């Protein structure tokens, strides 16, 4: 019998067009899928994220087997399970004596480096293939980035529009004559704003088994286990995309930045979990969005905005990650060292905006972009929280979180820890921004209009404390400089009030107990 090709397929590689499967026939290959302790616990992922990945893996394995592929599937409770990718590949090499190991490159640096060691370790060649599900290659990003001080996403995005032809006119100009229609978006929520619900998928027998497993083995992880409604198959993910196009895309653009208590995801697509584990193809999704525009089912500002999130931001952060790792994981340009407060895990804070964003995070393993950026992230920035603790939190709590997408957003977009390579200025904001873009403040115990004093919104003094303590680092930034003119005009007594109020608030923060984000060694 000829020796098979062993194809490890990871939990975020659940795509039939995976490069490692391309050109193979079921007769030549053994597909290896592994539920491993190390992946489920390198941070203590939200329970729903583990359910999502294990269930989607089991469904994908069943689909492949039904097509005639030989799938060697190792479950978490297999008594011989070694707990790591490398350990499981080693056992599979013993079982199958493959002629070759063929794998698609991993999304995360950590796993990539483990894979690089397979070549010397196993008695057969190891081929690590590019992940062709992304539109930009590593080389595309390197060419874009070289020689630039600031890696402005907008220019990268235009290159992706040209590369894909999405929303491009035959004369090479962008559809509508303009690349970016955000001026028509970012509207504050109007009273009573309410979006049609995103579909939730009732757990089938496979998902129910996994829910029981996760409830038993990962009980100490953050987050509600049930109700669980994420898509776990390609068919479900496609149905979720269809529902988004039919019900939400039209108003996606205008209300992209709005936050409404009780309307957790508003007009957002809720498709990141499916995109990131491979159930949806990003380019096909963007082509479907473009078709909605061309057929008059959705306006250009919403469709362009949606496509920009995917071929712009999503591709950009992935390129940025590989271009700046491993330094990005250590970056701390603003020398922020405060421990993460306990309320990031418990939600027990009087700040209503934060409590609400943490509640949706706990219930759904999701919060939308502006909740992540301008409420939770903004707090982390202006309170000066240690970037690695913030990054661990984001990686643990969201069902769509993988380091390649989480870390550039946290270290680059939110915390300015990369010194401004990704964002041209820190997204620091006082309570006024949150009040404009949400309905959180009306019922908050704090008063957003008060700047200092016991009832003042904590974002107000923290904002000035952030500006004052980072003056040396930020003053020369032309997008920030004028803020210091306002600060200087305030006079010393007012400045002191702000600084003392911020310091009293910061003193009152209780650091998170160890053990929320990671297991003790």
| Least distance from ligand FAD to the Cβ atom of residue 58, Å | 22
| Nearer of residues 212 and 449 to ligand SF4, judged by Cβ | 449
Using CA atoms, how far apart are residues 166 and 430, in angstroms rounded to an integer? Answer: 37
Q: Comparing C-alpha atoms, which of 433, 349, 463, 332 is closest to residue 391?
A: 332
Helix (H) or strand (E) holding 466: helix 459-469
Using CA atoms, how far apart are residues 413 and 166, in angstroms rounded to an integer? Answer: 25
Site for ligand FAD in 13-42 (CB under 6 A): none
Position closest to ligand DLZ via CB: 11
Using CA atoms, how far apart are residues 359 and 450, in angstroms rounded to an integer? Answer: 26
DSSP state of 199: P
Site for ligand DLZ in 351-410 (CB under 6 A): 402
Residues in the chain: 521
| Least distance from ligand SF4 to the Cβ atom of residue 343, Å | 12
Q: Of these, 111, 198, 232, 351, which contacts ligand SF4 (CB under 6 A)?
A: 351
User: Does residue 72 interact with ligand DLZ by CB under 6 A?
Assistant: no
Q: Which residues contact 200 (CB under 8 A, 6 or more apart)?
A: 227, 229
| Nearer of residues 54 and 306 to ligand DLZ, judged by Cβ | 54
The one of ligand DLZ, ligand SF4, ligand FAD, none whose footprint includes residue 459, by CB under 5 to 8 A per kind, is ligand SF4
Q: Which residues pair with 71 in a beta bridge?
A: 31
| Nearer of residues 51 and 373 to ligand FAD, judged by Cβ | 373
Query: To 10 degrees, what angle do helices 85-96 and 109-116 make?
Result: 40
Q: Which residues contact 471 (CB under 8 A, 6 or more apart)?
A: 484
Q: Provide φ and ψ at 75, rounded to 5°.
A: -85, 160
Q: Provide φ and ψ at 233, rounded to 5°.
A: -130, 165
Q: Of these, 20, 61, 69, 107, which contacts ligand DLZ (CB under 6 A)?
A: 107
| Least distance from ligand FAD to the Cβ atom of residue 8, Å | 23
Q: Comparing C-alpha atoms, which of 417, 442, 441 is closest to residue 427?
A: 417
| Contact track, ligand SF4, 425-464, x by CB under 6 A | ------x--xx----xx--x-x-x--------xxx-----
Q: Of these, 15, 272, 302, 439, which contacts ligand FAD (CB under 6 A)?
A: 272
Site for ligand FAD in 281-300 (CB under 6 A): none
Q: How far is CA 434 from the centre of its chain?
A: 21
Q: Which residues contact 170 (CB under 8 A, 6 or more apart)?
A: none
| Least distance from ligand DLZ to the Cβ atom of residue 307, Å | 24
User: Does residue 260 interact with ligand SF4 by CB under 6 A?
Assistant: no
Q: In this chain, which stretch among 128-136, 170-178, 349-357, 404-412 interacts with ligand FAD, using CB under 6 A?
A: 404-412
Site for ligand FAD in 301-360 (CB under 6 A): 306, 309-310, 313-314, 317
The one of ligand SF4, ligand DLZ, ligand FAD, none whose footprint includes residue 12, by CB under 5 to 8 A per kind, is ligand DLZ
For the chain, the 3-state helix, strand and coil shares in percent, each to the nearest 5, are 50, 5, 45
| Contact track, ligand DLZ, 20-59, x by CB under 6 A | --------------xxx--xx----x----x--x------
119-144 core/surface letters (b: 16 or more CB in 10 A; e: else):
eeebeeebebeebebbbbeeebbeeb
Determine whether 356 is exposed, middle or buried from the number of CB atoms within 10 Å of its CB (0-12, 13-18, 19+): buried
Q: Comparing C-alpha atoms, which of 478, 482, 347, 370 is closest to residue 424?
A: 478
Using CA atoms, how far apart are residues 314 and 291, in angstroms rounded to an integer? Answer: 20
| Nearer of residues 10 and 181 to ligand DLZ, judged by Cβ | 10
| Least distance from ligand SF4 to the Cβ atom of residue 109, Å | 35
Q: In this chain, which stretch among 8-16, 63-71, 414-422, 475-483 interacts with ligand DLZ, using CB under 6 A?
A: 8-16
Q: Which residues contact 489 (CB under 8 A, 6 or more apart)?
A: none
User: Does residue 410 interact with ligand FAD by CB under 6 A?
Assistant: yes
321-347 core/surface letters (b: 16 or more CB in 10 A; e: else):
bbbbbeebbebbbbebeeebbbbbbbb
- Contact residues toward ligand SF4 (CB under 6 A) are 351-353, 431, 434-435, 440-441, 444, 446, 448, 457-459
- Contact residues toward ligand FAD (CB under 6 A) are 265, 268-272, 275-276, 306, 309-310, 313-314, 317, 368-369, 372-373, 377, 394, 398, 400-401, 405-406, 409-410, 413-414
- Contact residues toward ligand DLZ (CB under 6 A) are 10-12, 34-36, 39-40, 45, 50, 53, 106-108, 111, 402
């Amino acid at each position: 019998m000829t020796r098979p090709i062993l194809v490890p397929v990871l939990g975020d590689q659940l795509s039939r067009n995976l490069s490692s499967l391309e050109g193979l026939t079921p007769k030549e290959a053994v597909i290896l899928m592994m539920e491993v302790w190390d992946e489920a616990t390198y941070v203590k992922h939200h329970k729903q994220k583990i359910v999502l990945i294990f269930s989607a893996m089991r469904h994908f394995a069943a689909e492949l087997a039904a097509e005639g592929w030989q799938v060697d599937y190792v479950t978490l409770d297999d008594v011989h399970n070694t707990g790591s990718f490398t350990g499981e590949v080693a056992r599979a090499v013993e079982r199958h004596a493959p002629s070759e190991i063929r794998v698609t490159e991993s999304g995360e640096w950590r796993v990539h480096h483990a894979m690089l060691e397979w070549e010397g370790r196993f008695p057969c060649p190891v081929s690590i293939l590019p992940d062709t599900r992304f539109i930009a290659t590593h080389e595309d990003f390197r060419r874009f980035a070289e020689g630039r001080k600031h890696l402005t996403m907008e220019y990268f995005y235009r290159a992706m529009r040209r590369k894909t032809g999405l929303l491009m006119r035959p004369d090479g100009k962008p559809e509508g004559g303009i690349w970016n229609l955000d001026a028509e978006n970012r509207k504050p929520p109007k009273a009573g704003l309410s979006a049609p619900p995103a579909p939730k998928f009732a757990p089938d027998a496979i998902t129910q088994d996994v829910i029981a497993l996760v409830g038993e083995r990962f009980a100490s992880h953050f987050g509600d286990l049930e109700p669980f409604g994420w898509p776990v198959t390609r068919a479900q993910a496609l149905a979720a995309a269809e529902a988004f196009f039919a019900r939400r895309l039209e108003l996606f653009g205008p209300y992209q930045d709005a936050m409404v208590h009780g309307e957790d995801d508003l007009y957002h697509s809720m498709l990141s979990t499916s995109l990131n584990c491979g159930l949806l193809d990003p380019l096909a999704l963007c082509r479907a969005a473009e078709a909605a525009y061309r057929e008059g089912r959705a306006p250009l500002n919403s469709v362009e905005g949606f496509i920009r999130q995917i071929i712009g931001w999503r591709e950009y952060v992935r390129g940025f990650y590989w271009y700046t790792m491993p330094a990005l994981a250590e970056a701390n340009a603003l020398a922020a060292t405060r421990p993460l407060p306990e309320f990031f895990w418990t939600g027990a804070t009087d700040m209503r905006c934060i409590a609400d964003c943490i509640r949706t995070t706990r219930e759904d393993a999701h919060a939308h972009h502006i909740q992540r950026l301008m409420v939770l992230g903004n707090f982390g920035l202006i309170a000066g929280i240690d970037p690695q603790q913030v990054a661990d939190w984001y990686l643990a709590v969201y069902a769509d979180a993988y380091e390649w997408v989480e870390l550039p957003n946290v270290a680059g977009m939110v915390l300015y820890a990369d010194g401004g390579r990704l964002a041209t200025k820190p997204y620091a904001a006082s309570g006024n921004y949150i009040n404009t873009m949400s309905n959180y403040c009306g019922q908050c115990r704090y008063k957003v209009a008060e700047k200092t004093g016991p009832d003042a919104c904590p974002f107000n003094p923290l904002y000035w404390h952030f500006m004052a303590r980072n003056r040396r680092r930020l003053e020369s930034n032309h997008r920030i400089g004028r803020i210091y003119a306002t600060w200087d005009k305030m006079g010393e007594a007012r400045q002191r009030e702000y600084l003392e109020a911020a310091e009293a608030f910061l003193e009152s923060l209780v650091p998170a107990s160890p053990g929320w984000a990671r297991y003790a060694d």
